[in-house]
C-alpha cells in the first residue's frame, strides 16, 4: 500500500510551520526503522505549502494520505486532533466562482471525475496554534512540545494500516 504523509504550512510563519516539523520528525523515525518493513508498503513523506488542486495532484497514485497541519481554534495551542478529511467542512461551497481557492475535498472529487487514482483514506492530524502570521522559523514552545506527540500519532496511524493488511493476508 502506498501512503503519503504531507506536512502542510509555511515554515517561515511561526506555528504555521508545525506540519513541516512533524513531517521531518516522521521521516527521521521512519529512517530509524520504527515501522516494520513489508513488501509493497511504501511511505513517502514530503512538505508542501499549498492546498486544493495543487495538494490533490501530489496525492495521485497513493492509496492513503495523512496530512499534518496547523489549525486555528479556541483549543489550547499544542492540542492535537485526528480527523478524516470527510469529517471536515467543505468550504468550496462558499467559493464556487474560482478553481484557485477550491477545497481539498472538491479537488479530490474533481480529480476522481477525471480518472485520477486518489486515496480513499485521507486523515488529518491537526495541531492547534495561535501564532501563524509572525515571521519566524521557530515554533512557540507549546506547539514545539506537541511535535513529537503528533509524529507518534502519525507513526501509529501507519502501523494500524500495516496491521490491518496483515490480518487480511491469506495464510499459507
Q: Checking DSSP bridges between strand 42-48 and strand 64-72, what pairing results, if any?
A: unpaired
* Domain residue limits, the chain: 2-167
Q: Per residue of the chain (172 residues), give pLDDT as tens.
A: 799 999 999 999 999 999 999 999 999 998 886 665 665 578 999 999 988 889 999 999 999 999 999 988 777 999 999 999 888 877 655 555 555 567 888 888 889 999 999 999 899 999 999 877 789 999 999 999 999 999 999 999 998 876 666 665 555 5
* pLDDT at position 121: 87
- CATH of the domain spanning 2-167, picked from 3.90.1150.10, 3.40.1170.60, 3.20.20.70, 3.40.50.1450: 3.40.50.1450
Kindly write down the DSSP assignment for every residue of 14-80, as one continuous string.
GGGGHHHHHHHHHHHHHHTT-S---TT-EEEEEEES--HHHHHHHTTT-SEEEEEEEEE-SSPTT-E
C-beta of residue 38 within 8 angstroms of C-beta of residue 169: no
* pLDDT at position 34: 60
Q: Checking DSSP bridges between strand 121-129 and strand 80-84, what pairing results, if any?
A: antiparallel
Amino acid at each position: 500500500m502506498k501512503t503519503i504523509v504531507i506536512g502542510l504550512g509555511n515554515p517561515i510563519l511561526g506555528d504555521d510551520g508545525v506540519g513541516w516539523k512533524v513531517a521531518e520528525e516522521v521521516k527521521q523515525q521512519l529512517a530509524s526503522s520504527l515501522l516494520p518493513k513489508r513488501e509493497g508498503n511504501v511511505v513517502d513523506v514530503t512538505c508542501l505549502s499549498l492546498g486544493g488542486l495543487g495538494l490533490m495532484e501530489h496525492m495521485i497514485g497513493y492509496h492513503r494520505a495523512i496530512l499534518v497541519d496547523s489549525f486555528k481554534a479556541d483549543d489550547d495551542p499544542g492540542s492535537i486532533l485526528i480527523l478524516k478529511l470527510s469529517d471536515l467542512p467543505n468550504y468550496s461551497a462558499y467559493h464556487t466562482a474560482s478553481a484557485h481557492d477550491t477545497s481539498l475535498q472538491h479537488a479530490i472529487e474533481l480529480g476522481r471525475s477525471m480518472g485520477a487514482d486518489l486515496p480513499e483514506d485521507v486523515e488529518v492530524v491537526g495541531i492547534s496554534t495561535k501564532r501563524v502570521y509572525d515571521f519566524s522559523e521557530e515554533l512557540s514552545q507549546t506547539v514545539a512540545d506537541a511535535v513529537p506527540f503528533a509524529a507518534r500519532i502519525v507513526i501509529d496511524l501507519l502501523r494500524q494500516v500495516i496491521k490491518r493488511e496483515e490480518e487480511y493476508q491469506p495464510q499459507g
